[in-house]
Amino acid sequence: MSAKDKYHEDVRIALQKANWIITHDPYFLRLEGVNFPVDLGAEKMLAAEKANQKILVEVKSFISESIPNEFHTALGQYLDYETGLEEYDPQRELFLAVPKTAFNKIKEIPILMTVLRKYKVNIIVFDPFEKTLQQWIKNQ
């Protein structure tokens, strides 16, 4: 098992504050004989639909000096997980959780925003100090 991301617990708490039930910590996505630990699995009852919404959340800190390098690592991991989910657990939606300060830096680099849209990367922007979810971005 890999080490937990710096903000792992903050995102877990933020999801719980938003009435998500944590079902997996981590969620093991088995792809071609290899277990990939996605940080969190969660679900929430959608009253209007009388069904559960199921998500997986990969938490990234973006604490290094190079936002583009961390972005590319996170993107590669996200794309691996997204590809695996299509076959293994298609009812779950994948999200990349990013602290709001890092997301603000990502927004300043137009090519990174273009890549997020092109590859339909779903983002949760969170505040690690308040331990709250700030924004959900679904790139459909």
Domain ranges of the chain: 8-50+69-130
pTM (2 d.p.)? 0.91
Ramachandran category for residue 19: left, alpha or beta (phi over 0 → left; psi -120 to 50 → alpha):
left
Which of 2-16, 27-41, 43-57, 59-73 has the weakest average pLDDT? 43-57
pLDDT at 131 over 90: yes
Helix axes 110-118, 100-107, angle to 10 degrees: 100
pLDDT at 124 over 50: yes
Distance CA 17, CA 131 (A): 8
Query: Dihedral angle at the C-alpha atoms of 21, 4, 102, 92, nearest 10 degrees?
Result: -40
Q: 3-class DSSP state for residue 44?
A: strand
pLDDT at residue 64, rounded to an integer: 83
Contact present, 99 and 62 (Cβ < 8 Å) = yes
Average of per-residue pLDDT values in the chain: 90
Q: By percentage, how much of the chain surpasses pLDDT 70?
A: 93
* CATH entry, 8-50+69-130, from 3.40.1350.10, 3.30.200.20, 3.40.50.300, 3.90.1150.10: 3.40.1350.10
pLDDT in tens, 55-105: 999 999 898 888 999 999 999 999 999 999 988 889 999 999 999 999 999
